[in-house]
Amino acid sequence: MTDNHPFHMVEKSPWPLLSAMSIMMMMTGTVSLFQQNSKMTMTMGMTMTIMIMIQWWRDVIRESTYQGNHIKTVTEGMKLGMIMFIISEVLFFMSMFWMFFHTSLSPGVQLGSMWPPMGVEPFNPLQVPMLNTMILLTSGITITWAHHSMLTNNMMEMNKSLMITIALGVYFSALQGYEYTNSPFTMTDSAYGSTFFMMTGFHGLHVIIGTIFLITCMMRQTKNHFSKNHHMGFEAAAWYWHFVDVVWLFLYTSIYWWGM
C-alpha cells in the first residue's frame, strides 16, 4: 500500500452506475407488469441487476481475499457499516409494526371496530407459524455454532453447521410459500390482509436474501477464503441472520399470536 493511510481507496468501477440503471429498469418494469401485464422490461432489469451484483461482489472478494486490501482498519469500517445497515433495517420494520399496532389497537368503523375484521380467519399460531418459529430459532443456534467453529479453526464443523443453517433457511421459505398458497384471506382483505402480507412478505424476502448470503459464504468457504482471523463476510452474514431471527420473533408474537 503506497498511500500514507490505512484505508482502502477503491478503484474506478462501472458497477454503481450500471446497478442504478438496472434497478431503475427493474422498477419501471414492475410498474409495467402491474399496469400492462408486460414482463419484458422487469425481466431484463432483474437479469441485469443479478449479473451486476455477482460481478460487483466478485470484485469485493478479490480485493479482500487475493489483493489483501481489507486490512484491520478497513474491516472495522465495514463492520460499522454493516451495523448501521442493520439499524436501518430495524427502523424499517419498526415503521411496519407501528402501522400494525395503530390499526389493530384502535380499529375504525371500516374494520367493524374489531380486530381481526369480520370475515377474516387468521392462521392458527400453533401450526405452521410455530414450526417456522422453531426452524428459525434452530437456525440461530446452528449459525452461532458455525461462527464458533470458525473462531476455533474447526472448518469441518463450520461446514456442517453452515449447511444445516442454509437447509433450515430454505425450509422456512418453502413453508411460508405453502402458508401463502393456503391462506384463507388475501392482501385485499382489509387492513389485516395488507399488513399481514406486507410484514411477513418483507421478512420472507430478508430470509431469502440471508440464505443467498449464507450460500455465498459456503461457496467461499469451500475455496478456503476464510480463516479464524479473516472472515468479515461470514460474520456479516451471521449478524444479518440473527437480525432475521429476532424480527420473526416479534412478528410471530404480534401478528400470529396476539393479533389472532
106-140 pLDDT per residue, tens: 887 777 778 888 888 888 889 999 999 999 999 99
Which pLDDT belongs to residue 83?
A: 94
pLDDT digits (tens, 9 = 90+) for 4-55: 777 777 788 899 999 999 999 999 999 998 888 888 999 999 999 999 989 9
- The residues spanned by each domain of the chain are 1-69, 71-258
Task: Tell me the mean pLDDT in the region 148-172.
Answer: 93
Superfamily of domain 71-258 in CATH is Cytochrome c oxidase, subunit III, four-helix bundle (1.20.120.80)
166/221 Cα distance (integer angstroms): 14
Residues 220-237: b if buried by 16+ CB within 10 A, e if exposed: bbeeebbeeebbbbbbbb
CB 139 within 8 A of CB 120: no
- Strand, coil or helix: 230: strand
By the 8 A CB rule, do 240 and 210 touch?
A: yes
Which residues contact residue 256 at a Cβ distance below 8 angstroms, ignoring those fewer than 6 apart?
Answer: 122, 123, 125, 129
* Structural contact between residues 135 and 241, judged by C-beta atoms closer than 8 angstroms: no
Q: Is the pLDDT of residue 1 over 50?
A: no
pLDDT surpassing 50 at residue 234? yes
CATH 3.40.1020.10 is the classification of domain 1-69: no
Residue 241 Cα distances to 140, 212, 214, angstroms: 7, 11, 9
Mean pLDDT for all residues in the chain: 89
Residue percentage of the chain with pLDDT more than 90: 56
